[in-house]
Amino acid sequence: MSEHEGRVFVITGGETGIGRAAVLHLASKGATMVLGGVLAEEGAATVQAVRDAGGKAEFHKTDVRSTEQVDALIDGAVRTHGRIDGLICSAAIFDGFASGIDTTDALWDQIMGVNARGTFLACRAALRHMVPAGYGRIVNVASIGGLVGMADGASYTASKHAVVGLTKHLGCFYAKEGVTVNALCPGAIETNVRANSARLLGADAPPMGGVGASQEWVKTAIPMQRKGQPDEMTGLISFLLGDGSSYVTGQCFTADGGWTAK
């Protein structure tokens, strides 16, 4: 039997990309997946894919910038399923590698709102249940943009550095409570993040460029000479949600094909 059998995991941004891959993987291991996000059509499709495979999942439309909606997502999961064993914060939008000068007030607020505030709100809501229970696993999907200065644009880089800092603080502060908090820092991953971000940002969206947009750049910068696949992130997420990571907290795990090892 899988160690995730019967566990309840909440995930923000589980509709597409790395989040969707995590949902499908964890559901296949017997976990009940509670998804929160704004892409309702993609969320419904992900839930259906889980159910078609015999798993358990549900989707709730949730703007992670809203305290009320995030609290409702996580409190509702606990009311319905009796507990929350783990949280994955995967909701994020990209800034198209906009420079400091080119970053507008509106773009900054949008990126920071989803990526930094959204992660904080979900962690806080989950901790309110995990700390009294004496157990919990939180995995924040950050980025190598939270570790280095030139992987992404100004607002995205700042937001992911905030996620890394929050992860370290929460991991240390709640270690004695039986709760671990860690981060996954992916490199260039093959997802629809640019198209989804442009769609969500609307009029605030900059041109969706960036270091991962060029195949020639990928071959030059990444030792593996390719982008990663969302499925290649699920093993680390699963490990950090499991009992084998019980002595691991406040850490950031890079999965970038060797990009930052150069």
Catalytic residues: 156
Distances (CA, A) of 198 to 95, 99, 103, 150, 195: 9, 16, 14, 21, 5
Q: How many CB atoms lie within 10 A of CB 169?
A: 12
Q: Which two tokens stand for residue 103?
A: 């970053």
Q: What Rg value do the Cα atoms of the chain yield, rounded?
A: 17
Which amino acid belongs to residue 218? V
Sequence-ordered alpha helix ranges (H) in 112-233: 118-133, 154-173, 193-201, 215-221
What helix, strand, coil percent values describe the chain, rounded to 5? 50, 15, 35
Q: Do 68 and 4 touch, CB atoms closer than 8 A?
A: no
Q: Which two tokens stand for residue 239?
A: 């490990």
d(CA 46, CA 85) in angstroms, rounded, equals 21
